[in-house]
């Protein structure tokens, strides 16, 4: 945020306003007309192939200040799949959007070798276009734009986040750090072991899905 919005020390207000843009994009179909539009139940259906695989990654563009809004090239689609494969990808456009440009962008994405989909869902793009442009808070961090894109995707690379979490968990649990607080409240130590096993199983689930 300090790079995009020139905010050195983001507050909860800064973060909440950014999050509200994503939530607004995901729920725009409830309030405004669009073609094609994507309902909330469609998002869930398209993003979650299996019950446990339900942790989407979210990207929003553009993240720019009011000063930048007047001179920044509005290139909306930027993907960084990192070390993983997509199971599904929902592109939620708002504002002055040409459907032909969207189709061309998706065509280019499919041709990129570093944008990988799992073999059982090779073309898992879902597109929603809502012609109501995004709204910003007057005097806020985000500059007003005539279009935006929120991408919600299910990508196996999120397993690396669980791996980092598991490593930190192991370090703390090995020293029994903070465990006594929970045990004093009647929690059995076996619950911590079961929770760790559950994370390990989730990581394996994502590996299996990618294979």
Query: What ranges in the chain are assigned the alpha helix state H?
Result: 12-27, 40-47, 66-69, 99-111, 159-174, 179-184, 190-210
Contact 21, 134 (CB under 8 A): yes
Positive or negative, the CA dihedral 159, 160, 165, 167 is: positive
Q: CA 177: distance to chain centroid? A: 32
- Rounded to whole angstroms, the Cα distance separating 119 from 156 reads 13
d(CA 100, CA 191): 53
- Set 42, 111, 194, 210: catalytic member: 42
Q: Is 42 annotated in the active site?
A: yes
Quote the tokens at residue 204: 């394996």
Cα distances (Å, whole numbers) of residue 45 to 76, 90, 123, 124, 154: 25, 11, 15, 12, 12
Give me the residues paired with residue 86 across strands: 117, 155
**Residue ranges in 97-158 assigned as alpha helix (H):** 99-111
Contacts of range 107-111, beta carbons closer than 8 Å, 24 or more positions apart: 109/77, 109/79
Residues annotated as catalytic are: 42
């Amino acid at each position: 945020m300090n790079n995009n919005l020139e905010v050195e020390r983001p507050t909860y207000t800064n973060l909440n306003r950014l999050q509200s843009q994503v939530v607004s994009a995901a729920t725009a179909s409830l309030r405004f007309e669009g073609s094609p539009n994507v309902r909330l139940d469609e998002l869930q259906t398209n993003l979650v192939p299996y019950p446990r695989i339900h942790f989407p990654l979210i990207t929003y563009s553009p993240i720019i200040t009011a000063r930048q809004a007047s001179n920044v090239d509005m290139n909306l689609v930027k993907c960084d799949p990192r070390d993983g494969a997509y199971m599904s990808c929902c592109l939620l456009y708002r504002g002055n959007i040409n459907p032909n440009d969207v189709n061309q962008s998706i065509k280019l994405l499919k041709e990129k070798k570093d944008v990988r989909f799992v073999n059982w869902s090779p073309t898992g793009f879902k597109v929603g276009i809502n012609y109501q442009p995004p709204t910003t808070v007057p005097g806020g961090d985000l500059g007003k734009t005539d279009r935006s894109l929120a991408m919600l995707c299910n990508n196996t690379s999120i397993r690396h986040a669980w791996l980092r979490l598991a490593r930190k968990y192991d370090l703390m649990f090995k020293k029994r750090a903070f465990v006594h607080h929970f045990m004093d409240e009647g929690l059995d130590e076996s619950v911590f072991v079961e929770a760790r096993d559950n994370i390990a199983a989730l990581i394996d689930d994502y590996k299996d899905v990618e294979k």
